[in-house]
């Protein structure tokens, strides 16, 4: 099982790199889609969180990535005369910064302890629902308002004239 | 047994890759995808900690993060399309509307 | 209806009227009086009912609403209805009602909005005046006190496009501030000593006042009264206040507001009863003012200003009454004065109306044939003020002089009697110059005409009032003064010898008749010719004509130094250099700093990304190190 996990993790990192390093936005988006699938598998198989996995699939893959693909389709980059060139100094600077951050995070990892049991109960939606509608009722409602206003804002911005 | 540190390492590597993408890419859509990647990496950490500690709050917060990511996607894409309509490209380096 | 509701209604109806006319002035326009007149006429009727109840022994002193409650300090909005406030309420509402009606005719040439504004202010004034007289504590009295001052300011400056009117309003307001400063301090001292400003509590705890404190409080309160009631040294605003519309002069600057000081001193009788020195000061100031103002009225040529000086003079009489301990006599004179002085002002307004705003009596003459009602009512008013029996002024003025005499203030009595003669002289000088003789400006007088009925009816009503109200003195149960005395706290006057002083009455009537006679011989028979007389007595004439140069002295002593200090020290230095310097300095500081700091804010989105990650690295670094 652990071998499979490491393969999974390697694929996730690889697809993440794909998001960043692939030249065409469409490829980046598809790479992200692949990363999301792997994440959902991780949730389901190793973290025993089927509800989160399902939401991950529906929201991220079904909505967000598809949405981005639509926008990529609408935004015709080839005709915009936009050829993305990554400048080498910036690349290295970013690499250095990201590396420093990674090292720091790895050091901070020393603070994190704990094991995740491979064999454990699945956490289904009902238990989460209990928590969401009791302890997190207010944030839940606030998030609903936030999304609603985001939708209104998106419509307002996307329309040429209101 | 799955060590917590391993999940943590995976999550933060993905996070740093996402951040790296934001720093080097000039295409607004790809930057946006990088942000989603970072959010996803944080979600993994939330769910993992929830599992390790036995409290369900982490999973709930992961759900909230997803919801907010969806809202962010709507707004972000709307900004990108309207920017594209105005300027004809999505090159962040040439975006100077905030400049004083 | 409960007495409390009635009192509330009396106070609040004018406020409602003021609100409607003020807020909807563009809507009501020339119909403003349809709201304003009932808003004061209904309280007038209710006031009569209240007076009837009070005469039958009912009294009322209660809290409507606790206004301020801080620790032990409790200030209510409450009303006190006793004999004193009843007299005031009846006077105010009655005179105000007729002046409102008169204003319909007088102000009809104003613009729509100006008309509504005028009636709104007038109603607002009534509200504050009724608050003042009905209040059951000094703080609410002070609210009304300041409120009437505000309305006075607004109405004096009603024609605010005219510089003189605007300045006159300002002068009235600022002069009153000087007096109110002392008034407020007096209230603070009173509160410090008695722990309450409610009349009832003050009367109960008055024994806590030592004579010294009572004197200080009394004098401080009186300093407020000198401002509001135009006594020396703060009388200067009242003649200038004649810039306002004439009904305003009649209502505010003759009948009601200026008498607030007298009312207040009478209301504070409990304090003054312990402060004989303060009372003496009041009496002396009062009689000096009466004399001083009357002498200025002798030579003035401005129709309304003569009446204004006459008001100052009569207010002086009221303070003489208060000062010699005969509060009720002062209040009685206030009561009668409201009728005849209101009448005189309204008549002068009628004359102005006929002559298109002309006020110089040297240009008038022979108006009797043109406007009989105005002239006759004016003569009634003048006879009343001169103290010819049986008109109103005779009873009240005589009562004051009588009290002055019997209480031992012989000097005050003497000056007061001479002043009574002067009063008769200048009033009849006014009448002879205005209504009799040959018109000196034919063109002006030719087109004169009697005022419309809506203006003459109030004249007639007030004239009848001026004739009749004096008889209140001889009503059963001690008459008017006995009635008012029930509400007062009087000092036990040791050895109050009620000597039969009927010769006083005869003397004052004779003096008044002499005054009238001199006026007749000078201005009808020209013997001696007033012009030649003014030449022979030129220095005295000029001194009186220039109002003793008091305005000039005040300018030189107080106003110009204040203005200069304000201009050079406060404006040019403190304001421009320090205040502006600080404000501009702060702005410039941030401007300079920002011009450097804003370079961080490049506006390039990647730069923000860099800054964020550098911040994250720094925070993580701190976490790692510590």
> Is residue B100, in this structure, part of any structural domain at all?
no
CB atoms within 10 A of CB C601: 14
Q: Structural domain tally of chain B? A: 1
Choices 3.20.20.80, 1.20.120.1200, 3.30.565.10, 2.40.50.140: CATH for A2-84+117-161: 1.20.120.1200
> Is residue B61, in this structure, part of any structural domain at all?
yes
> Is residue B6, in this structure, part of any structural domain at all?
no
Give chains near A: 3+ CB pairs under 8 A: B, C
More confident residue, A106 or C15: C15
Identity of the residue in B24, B33, B77 whose CB atom sits nearest the CB atom of A94: B24
- Range with the lowest mean pLDDT among A70-79, A92-101, C1-10, C219-228? A70-79
Residue A142: pLDDT band with limits 50, 70, 90: very high
Q: Indicate yes or no: pTM above 0.90.
A: no
Q: Is B92 on the interface with A (CB under 8 A)?
A: no
Instruction: Report which secondary-structure segment, H or E, holds B22.
Output: helix B4-24
DSSP class per residue in C259-281: GHHHHHHHHTHHHHTT-HHHHHH
> Is residue B76, in this structure, part of any structural domain at all?
yes
CA distance C293 to C522: 21
Q: Is C535 on the interface with B (CB under 8 A)?
A: no
CA distance B17 to A94: 10
Contacts B–C by Cβ distance under 8 A: 24
Q: Which residue has the tokens 């996402």?
A: B18
Restricting to B residues 30-69, those with a Cβ less than 8 Å away from any Cβ of A are: 30, 32-34, 36-37, 40-41, 43-44, 47-53, 56-57, 59-60, 62-64, 66-69
| Half-sphere CA count of C295, side-chain side, radius 13 A | 16
Question: What pLDDT does residue C409 have?
Answer: 84
Q: Is B99 on the interface with C (CB under 8 A)?
A: yes
Instruction: Report which secondary-structure segment, H or E, holds C457.
Output: helix C453-468
Q: DSSP character for C451? A: P
> Is residue B21, in this structure, part of any structural domain at all?
no
Identity of the residue in B4, B23, B63 whose CB atom sits nearest the CB atom of A112: B4
Name chain B contacts of A116, Cβ cutoff 8 Å.
1-4, 7, 48, 51-52
Question: What pLDDT does residue C586 have?
Answer: 93
Average pLDDT, 10 consecutive residues per value, chain C (626 residues)? 85 92 86 90 92 87 85 86 91 93 90 89 94 92 93 91 90 90 92 88 86 90 92 89 91 90 91 89 92 89 91 93 89 92 92 86 84 91 89 88 85 90 91 86 81 90 91 82 82 53 82 89 81 80 82 85 86 85 92 85 80 87 81
Cis geometry, peptide bond prior to residue C390 (ω within 30 degrees of 0) = yes
CB atoms within 10 A of CB C474: 11
Give A112-139 pLDDT, tens digit per residue: 666 776 667 788 888 888 888 899 999 9
Joined tokens for residue C382? 């003048």
- Considering only CA atoms, which of C258, C253, C236, C65 is closest in space to residue C145? C258
Does C604 sit within 8 Å of B96, measured CB to CB?
yes
CA distance C280 to A162: 81
Angle between helices C260-267 and C138-156 (to 10 degrees): 170
Give chains near B: 3+ CB pairs under 8 A: A, C
Domain residue extents for chain A: 2-84+117-161, 91-116
CA distance C156 to C20: 22
Name chain A contacts of B92, Cβ cutoff 8 Å.
none
SS3 A159: coil
Domain range spanning residue B64? 27-90
In the beta sheet, which residues pair with residue C62?
C79
Give B89-100 pLDDT, tens digit per residue: 788 877 777 775
Q: Is B19 on the interface with C (CB under 8 A)?
A: yes
Output the domain CATH number for residue B48.
Answer: 1.10.287.3510
Contacts of C465 (CB under 8 A, 6+ apart): C94, C339, C343, C392
% pLDDT > 70, chain B? 97
């Amino acid at each position: 099982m652990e071998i499979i996990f490491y393969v999974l993790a390697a694929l996730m990192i690889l697809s993440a790199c794909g998001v960043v390093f692939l030249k065409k936005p469409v490829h980046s988006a598809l790479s992200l889609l692949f990363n999301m699938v792997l994440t959902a598998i991780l949730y389901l198989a190793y973290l025993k969180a089927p509800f989160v996995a399902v939401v991950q699939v529906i929201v991220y893959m079904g909505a967000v990535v598809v949405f981005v693909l639509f926008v990529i389709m609408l935004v015709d980059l080839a005709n915009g005369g936009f050829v993305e060139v990554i400048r080498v100094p910036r690349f290295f600077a970013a690499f250095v910064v990201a590396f420093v951050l990674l090292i720091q995070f790895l050091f901070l990892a020393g603070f994190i302890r704990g094991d995740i049991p491979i064999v454990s109960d699945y956490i289904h939606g009902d238990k989460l629902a209990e928590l969401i509608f009791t302890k997190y009722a207010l944030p839940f409602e606030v998030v609903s308002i936030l999304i609603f206003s985001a939708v209104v804002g998106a419509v307002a911005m996307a329309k040429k004239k209101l | 047994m799955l060590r917590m540190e391993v999940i943590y390492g995976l999550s933060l590597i993905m996070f740093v890759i996402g951040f790296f993408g934001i720093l080097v890419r000039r295409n607004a859509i790809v930057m946006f995808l990088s942000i989603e990647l970072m959010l996803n990496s944080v979600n993994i950490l939330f769910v993992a900690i929830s599992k390790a500690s036995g409290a369900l709050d982490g999973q709930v917060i992961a759900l909230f993060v997803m919801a907010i990511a969806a809202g962010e996607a709507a707004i972000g894409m709307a900004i990108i399309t309207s920017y594209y309509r105005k300027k004809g490209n999505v090159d962040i380096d040439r975006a100077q509307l905030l400049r004083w | 209806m409960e007495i409390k509701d009635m009192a509330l209604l009396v106070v609040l109806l004018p406020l409602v009227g003021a609100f409607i006319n003020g807020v909807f002035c563009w809507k009501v326009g020339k119909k403003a009086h349809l709201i304003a007149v009932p808003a004061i006429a209904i309280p007038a009727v209710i006031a009569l009912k209240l007076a009837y109840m009070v005469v039958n022994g009912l009294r009322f002193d209660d809290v409507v609403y606790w206004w301020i409650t801080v620790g032990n300090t409790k200030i209510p909005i409450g009303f006190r209805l006793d004999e004193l406030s009843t007299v005031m309420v009846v006077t105010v509402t009655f005179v105000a009602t007729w002046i409102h009606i008169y204003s319909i005719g007088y102000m009809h040439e104003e613009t729509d909005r100006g008309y509504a504004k005028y009636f709104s202010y007038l109603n607002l004034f009534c509200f504050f005046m009724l608050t003042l007289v009905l209040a059951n504590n000094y703080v609410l009295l002070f609210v009304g006190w300041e409120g009437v001052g505000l309305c006075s300011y607004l109405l004096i400056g009603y024609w605010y496009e005219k510089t003189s009117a605007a300045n006159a309003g300002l002068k009235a307001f600022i002069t009153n501030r000087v007096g109110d400063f002392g008034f407020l301090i007096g209230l603070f001292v009173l509160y410090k000593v008695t722990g309450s400003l409610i009349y009832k509590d003050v009367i109960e705890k008055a024994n806590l006042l030592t004579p010294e404190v009572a004197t200080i409080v009394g004098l401080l309160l009186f300093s407020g009264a000198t401002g509001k009631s135009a006594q020396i040294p703060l009388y200067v605003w009242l003649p200038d206040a004649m810039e306002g519309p004439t009904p305003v002069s009649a209502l505010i600057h003759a009948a009601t507001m200026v008498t607030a000081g007298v009312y207040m001193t009478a209301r504070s009788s409990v304090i003054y009863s312990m402060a004989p020195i303060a009372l003496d000061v009041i009496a002396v100031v009062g009689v000096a003012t009466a004399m001083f103002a009357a002498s200025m009225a002798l030579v003035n040529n401005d129709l309304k200003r003569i009446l204004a000086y006459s008001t100052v003079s009569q207010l002086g009489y009221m303070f003489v009454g208060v000062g010699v301990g005969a509060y009720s006599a002062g209040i009685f004179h206030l009561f009668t004065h409201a009728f005849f002085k209101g009448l005189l002002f309204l008549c002068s307004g009628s004359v102005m109306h006929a002559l298109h705003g002309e006020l110089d009596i040297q240009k008038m003459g022979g108006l009797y044939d043109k406007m009989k009602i105005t002239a006759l009512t004016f003569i009634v008013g003048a006879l009343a003020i001169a103290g010819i029996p049986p008109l109103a002024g005779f009873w009240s003025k005589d009562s004051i002089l009588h009290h002055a005499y019997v209480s031992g203030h012989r000097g005050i009595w003497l000056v007061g009697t001479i002043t009574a003669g002067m009063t008769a002289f200048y009033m009849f000088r006014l009448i002879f110059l205005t209504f009799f003789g040959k018109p000196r400006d034919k063109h002006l007088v030719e087109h004169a005409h009697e005022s419309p009925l809506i203006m003459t009816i109030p004249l007639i009503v007030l004239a009848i009032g001026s004739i009749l109200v004096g008889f209140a003195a001889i009503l059963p149960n001690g008459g008017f003064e006995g009635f008012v005395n029930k509400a007062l706290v009087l000092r036990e006057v040791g050895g109050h010898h009620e000597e039969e002083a009927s010769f006083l009455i005869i003397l004052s009537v004779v003096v008044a008749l002499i005054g009238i006679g001199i006026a007749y011989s000078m201005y009808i028979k020209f013997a001696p010719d007033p012009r030649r007389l003014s030449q022979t007595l030129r220095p005295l004439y000029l001194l009186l004509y220039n109002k003793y140069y008091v305005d000039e002295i005040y300018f030189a002593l107080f106003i110009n130094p204040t203005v200069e200090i304000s201009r050079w020290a406060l404006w040019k230095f403190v304001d421009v250099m320090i205040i502006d310097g600080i404000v501009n300095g702060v702005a410039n500081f941030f401007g300079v700093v920002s011009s450097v700091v804003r370079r961080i804010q490049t506006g390039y989105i990647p730069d923000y990304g860099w800054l964020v990650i550098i911040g994250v690295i720094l925070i993580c670094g701190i976490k790692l190190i510590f």
